[in-house]
Every structure is written in C-alpha cells, then in structure tokens.
Amino acid sequence: MILIDTPRLQMREFTLEDVDAVYEFSSHPQVIEFTGDKLVESRENAKALIENVWLKEYQQYGYARYALIHKLDARIIGFCGIKFEPEDNLPDIGYRMLPVYWGQGLATEAVKATLQYAKEKLKLFKIFGEAVDENIASQQVMLKSGLQHVAQYQKYGYLVHRFETQW
C-alpha cells in the first residue's frame, strides 16, 4: 500500500520481497559514506535489516524507513522515513538513494512529503535530522525541506549538524 505519493516518488513499507533492492542501495559505498553505518554485505544481511529493524519498527512505533520508489523507473531506489531514536526520545528523518538519482531534487521531494505525512497522518509533534559536516548536500536537503539548523556538536568523532521541525 502506497503511504506517500509525490510527483516523482512513492513510499510504502518495506516487505521481505524487497531484499534485492535493499541490498543494492545498502551495499553501495557512496550511499552510506556519511551515515556511520556499515555496508550490508549480503542479501541475508539485507533480509535481516528488513525483518529485525523496519518490520519491527512498523509494529512497535507505527512508522520506520519506507521503500522509496522512483515512479518513472518503477523501482526501489533507496529509503526515506522516520525512525524513533530512543536516546533523543524523538523521531529522526532519514533517507538514502542510489547515486544515479542524486542531484535531481528527489531527496528534498521525499523529505518534504515524509515530514508532511509525519505531521498530518502520524501526528508527530517534533522531528530531527542529523548530517555530518562533510555532507553539505544532506544539510541543504534538510534546510530546503523546512527543518531549521539548531545545533552542531561532536558525535562518534564527527562534527554533526542537527536540524529540527519548527511546527
């Protein structure tokens, strides 16, 4: 079931049938360069990510990362969605997509739509996002999507910029 629909993208919950797509974008070094995450090294790891993280979060919180579908290509190109972060006691906006889709405004389109969905459908009152200092493109996506820069700090050895909704 499509949860979010934009002019060029759709988002829905991940299913176990998405293993190959998750493996493709999660094993791409450029996609995870600034995330702090490890490469997904196998389809089994991709399946475990879907089962043990996203499917559980849909059940526990009612939201998680969503499959990001490029309408023109009719394929999953990454994810966008909200993830509850216990250490902040807040949901975090996050997104990833294959590099061939970068620079087209798709991340901003996805983030804006996801934030609107989170506010209107999920009734979330505050959402944050983080980007390391080197990831200027991601910082720009957050600003263009309406989040405001509220802080910068050291985290895991990186200078991190924090952005928050101002609803």
Q: State how far the Cα of 114 lies from the Cα of 150, in Å rounded to an integer.
A: 20
Backbone angles phi, psi at 133, to 5 degrees: -55, -40
> Residue 164 contacts by C-beta under 8 Å, 6 or more apart in sequence?
126, 127, 128, 129, 147, 148, 150
Of the candidates 58, 62, 88, the residue with the CA atom closest to the CA atom of residue 150: 88
Q: State how far the Cα of 33 lies from the Cα of 15, in Å rounded to an integer.
A: 25
What pTM was estimated for this model as a whole? Answer: 0.93
Give the pLDDT of residue 81: 97
DSSP helix/strand/coil, 104: coil
Give the pLDDT of residue 29: 64
- pLDDT tens profile 24-63: 988 866 766 656 666 677 899 999 999 999 999 999 999 9
Q: Is the pLDDT of residue 70 over 80?
A: yes
Q: State how far the Cα of 133 lies from the Cα of 139, in Å rounded to an integer.
A: 8
CATH architecture of 2-125: 3-Layer(aba) Sandwich (3.40)
Confidence category of residue 6, pLDDT binned at 50, 70, 90: very high
- pLDDT tens profile 129-167: 999 999 999 999 999 999 999 999 998 888 999 999 988
Q: Is 166 exposed, middle or buried (0-12, 13-18, 19+ CB in 10 A)?
A: exposed
